[in-house]
Structure 1
Amino acid sequence: FFTYLSMSEEVTYADLKFQNSTETENIQETDKFGRKAPPAPSRVWRPAALFLTLLCLLLLIGLGVLGSIFYITLKIEMEKVNELQNINEELQRNVSLQLMSNMNSSDKIRNLSTTLQTTATKLCRELYRGKKEHKCKPCPERWMWHGDSCYFLSDDYQTWQESQKACAAHNASLLEINNKSALEFIKSQNKLYGYWLGLSPKKDQTNHKIVDDIINSSDW
């Protein structure tokens, strides 16, 4: 403070004392009612708050980048899965078509083989009729040729139904005697001890009488 002395007109310099800035900041102002105002926030927290804000912002950016990478990767993988699924379905269709083609080819080959076998059998039988010493065998193994037919005498004891199924498995049928030659041929077999005929063993006297009349016919 300056002090002016009018009497001596001498100027006296006094020491000026300034308060510390930190102390000034800590001085609590009073309002018009004389109450102390709350102290101002310290400047030390401002860098920390700024750092935390930047850190949160960086974390959000990182999460966004990771989410984008995950979405892009998932999309690419889903496209690969869909592509593989389409390839698998295409392969299954091709395999199914190939199997159907093979089945059709097998059926054609089987039918052709059956036709060739039937033709060969007919040709063989014609040759055998003309020359008994011909090497061609008109019947399968263990079957006997007589007249225009092949005969097989089974050693198995089976019911009529089982015998019928066994004959059907060989593309044949149970014996039907319709002429004397066939009857004499069957009688000539040494192991003849009883065989089923091509008639169901039902209690039908009419059928039995017809069979008896045929066998006992005087035309034979």
Structure 2
Amino acid sequence: MSPIDHTLAANQPAGDWTLLDERRDFLVVGKPERLLTVPGIGPEKQDCLITRVQTEFPEARIVHRLDWDTSGLLVLARNARAHAFLSKAFADRRVDKTYVALIDAPLEPREGLIDLPIGKDMERRPRYRIDPERGRPSQTRYRIAATEAAGVRVILEPITGRSHQLRVHLLARGRPIQGDSLYHPEAARHERLMLHATRLAFPDPQHPDAPKVAFELDAPF
């Protein structure tokens, strides 16, 4: 089955973003699926999260991203100092990120670490692949949370932050994420990519030595 044409799919209406928290230095927002985080190339890819947020908060700045078809939590900086602080926190791996996904069958063992290097798949762009020779080190912790009628719910905690990391790591274990138009052979059975950023914890730029602030947003599936 052919993957979804992202040029056409990007024209489909996306749900709107939600504001979870507003503070002096940052915003925490929820991004819907099928919405770019930042503008893409071409007029059909100018509608995106940051453009929408900036209509209400013109000072908002992107710190990190979610894939077009992934929903969930993002933190946005509100000034240059906070942007530098939060960007360094991500680079230093001081940010805790938790995702939930649906897969077709359980992983074995039911809890563990996937440690496989990821690189671009130059012959099948925009895909990525496991590349032992030129790939960048990539690690994901996982655990099976529940078996449901719709599939198996798995909790994912990326240690590194590579493009498509969770999607490629689960594919490498024979368990592509449901609805994944790039990596699941039966993606069309699902209305969306079943991947959601459900929890985000990071140091507060205003109180860097205090415990991390944490936010949660339930998956819509």
Q: TM-score range by the shorter chain?
A: under 0.3
Which structure carries more helix by proportion? Answer: 1
Instruction: Looking at secondary structure, tell me which structure has more strand per residue.
Output: 2
Taking structure 2 as the reference length, the TM-score comes to 0.16
* Structure with higher RCO (Cα < 8 A, 6+ apart): 2
Question: Highest CA radius of gyration, 1 or 2?
Answer: 1
